[in-house]
Amino acid sequence: MNELLKLSAQEIAERVRSGAITAVESVQTHIVRAQAMNGAINAIVAERYDRALEEARLLDQRLAKDPDARHLKFLGVPFTVKETIDLEGAPNTQGSLLRKGSIATEDATSVSRMRAAGAIPIGTTNISEWAMWFECDNLIYGATRNPYDPTRTAGGSSGGEGAIIGAGASPMGLGSDVGGSIRMPASFCGVFGHKPTNRVVPLTGHFPLYRSTRERYQGAAYPFTTQGPLTRRAVDLWPVLETIWGEDGLDRETGKTGYIERLRRNAASGFDRPGEFWKNKKVFLMPSPSMKWIPGTDSDVTQAVKLAAETFADLGARIDEFKSDALRDAFDVWAALMKTVDGFDLPIILGGGERAPNVPRELLARARGHANYTMPSLFICAADLIAPRGSRARRLVAEGHRLLLELETTLGEDGILLLPPHPRPAPKLGSTLLRPLDFAMTAIFNVLETPVTVAPMHFNIHGLPLGVQIVGARGCDHLTIGAAIALEKAGRTWHPPKGAVPS
């Protein structure tokens, strides 16, 4: 396997900066890998290889004339973009037949900021229909498969990102997360993923619910969704986050909370140098959370969390247990708080923003071979009928506020919580409907608005990646990312898949 395919984005940029390689070589090497891999995993659904190579050639020419260009953070580094995030000239169908043929006319804020830093997009990646399920399958692009076992899911809804990065064909990518959509794919595909503190990264150009142009802004407030990075090396998480955070004058949610300034201050805390940093820090673990609707956590997943705790104990952290039933009502709290968001109506979203799908009619159409929606979308529409309402919903919203207070009081600004990203390793393709609420283990932290990082730990006996979810208080993204860096330095990192796809 080409050495470039194992490096961090920062290392690749440094090689381009020093003249050891060209931007064209950087991009071409990853394109060749993507071409070899994608037939097996169906991760990139719209490639822009020729345009990417042309942009790399132009960058090389610029470097010969403009020494200042060498300071670009991601100089000549390729990256990929989730299909829900606008990339000019690429499809933004959201995996829905209702939007088939739709093309983005401009870059999302996050994409334009990455490109301004010297990164070069090579393609957009697959999602679930309307990005509303934790398995990537839709009626436009089909299913994305896990690079470590193509019979299993890569997760969702940023599953295409997880799969292409896990396959070694992209060093970094942009995803988004409202219920675990960055963290589950990262865990299933053995890579790093970060859900930032809410409202620090603009969602301008993200869909559904956010649409923008330079002339006008439209869309509902949607504070529980975040954009963030997936990377093959932990050291790239912070540089990507630092590149895409900050107000853009369009997303009215970004910057409301004041956490952007806290992130900037914490950048100088030394979190990226584990050494003494973790001495006496607080590390709580919840290796087997007790949650309503989730029938237990697999033993290998539990063991991965315990192994992570051992690493921090070796670094001098204070290890303690977090009560296992603290997140018992996780799904119900998530559902109730999501209902408080202006404009958030799942059936209407799945109907393209006009009217909800008629579930009985759509099931009949499926039986006749004329499906308009995937089964997870129809399940969501039906399940919405039993979502918490009235006094029960109010009680659950209050429980969410209480839970956040308890969590942040316990963690403070120098503590993290370790728990599984999912109750089991990557499920078999098509099986997620059998355990539809397993995503609650990640979803609860979206409505609590806390930063969460997922880091790979090791593999189980079947060769499937196992990860750990790292939670911090709001504005403490440096702690969760720093924890991932510490784990990577201890040998817990991404490893290329063997046997499942060409190497």
Tell me the sheet residues that pair with 211: 218
> What is the model's pLDDT at position 448?
98
In 3-state terms, what secondary structure has residue 226? strand
Residue 502 within any structural domain of the chain: no
pLDDT over 90 at 385, yes or no: no
Q: Grade residue 500 by pLDDT with cuts at 50, 70 and 90.
A: very low
> What is the model's pLDDT at position 175?
98
Q: Grade residue 209 by pLDDT with cuts at 50, 70 and 90.
A: low
Q: 175 — alpha (psi -120 to 50), left (phi > 0) or beta?
A: beta
pLDDT over 90 at 67, yes or no: no
Residue 171 within any structural domain of the chain: yes
Residue 436 within any structural domain of the chain: yes
By percentage, how much of the chain surpasses pLDDT 90?
87
Please state the φ and ψ torsions of residue 418, each to the nearest 5 degrees: -105, 130
269-295: pLDDT as tens digits: 999 999 899 999 999 999 999 999 999
Query: Which residue in the list 157, 212, 288, 377 is annotated as catalytic?
Result: 157
What is the pLDDT averaged over residues 196-203? 95
Q: Grade residue 256 by pLDDT with cuts at 50, 70 and 90.
A: confident
What is the pLDDT averaged over residues 207-228? 64
Q: Grade residue 212 by pLDDT with cuts at 50, 70 and 90.
A: very low
pTM equals 0.96
Number of structural domains found in the chain: 1
Give the Å distances, CA to CA, from 321 to 326, 454, 458, 498. Answer: 11, 19, 22, 36
> What is the model's pLDDT at position 216?
43
> What is the model's pLDDT at position 429?
98
What is the distance of C-alpha 289 from the center of its chain?
Answer: 22
Token pair recorded at residue 477: 């993204």
Residue 501 within any structural domain of the chain: no
Query: Is 181 an active-site residue?
Result: yes
Tell me the sheet residues that pair with 194: 453
Query: Which residue in the list 8, 128, 176, 181 is annotated as catalytic?
Result: 181
Lowest mean pLDDT among 230-244, 282-296, 384-398: 384-398
Residue 362 and residue 372 in contact, taking contact as beta carbons nearer than 8 Å = yes
What is the pLDDT averaged over residues 463-467? 98
Residue 212 within any structural domain of the chain: yes
Residue 499 within any structural domain of the chain: no
In 3-state terms, what secondary structure has residue 137? strand
Tell me the sheet residues that pair with 78: 120
Residue 112 within any structural domain of the chain: yes
Query: Is 82 an active-site residue?
Result: yes
Answer with the residue of higher pLDDT: 251 or 92.
Answer: 92
> What is the model's pLDDT at position 342?
73
Query: Is 8 an active-site residue?
Result: no
Average pLDDT of every residue of the chain: 94
Token pair recorded at residue 336: 């109730």
pLDDT over 70 at 215, yes or no: no
Residues 192 and 229: their CA atoms lie apart, in Å, by: 8
pLDDT over 60 at 223, yes or no: yes
Residue 37 within any structural domain of the chain: yes
121-140: pLDDT as tens digits: 999 999 999 999 999 999 99
Angle at 104 between CA 339 and CA 146, to 5 degrees: 70
CATH number of the domain to which 475 belongs: 3.90.1300.10
Q: Grade residue 163 by pLDDT with cuts at 50, 70 and 90.
A: very high
36: domain range?
3-489
Query: Which residue in the list 8, 82, 110, 176 is annotated as catalytic?
Result: 82
> What is the model's pLDDT at position 87?
98
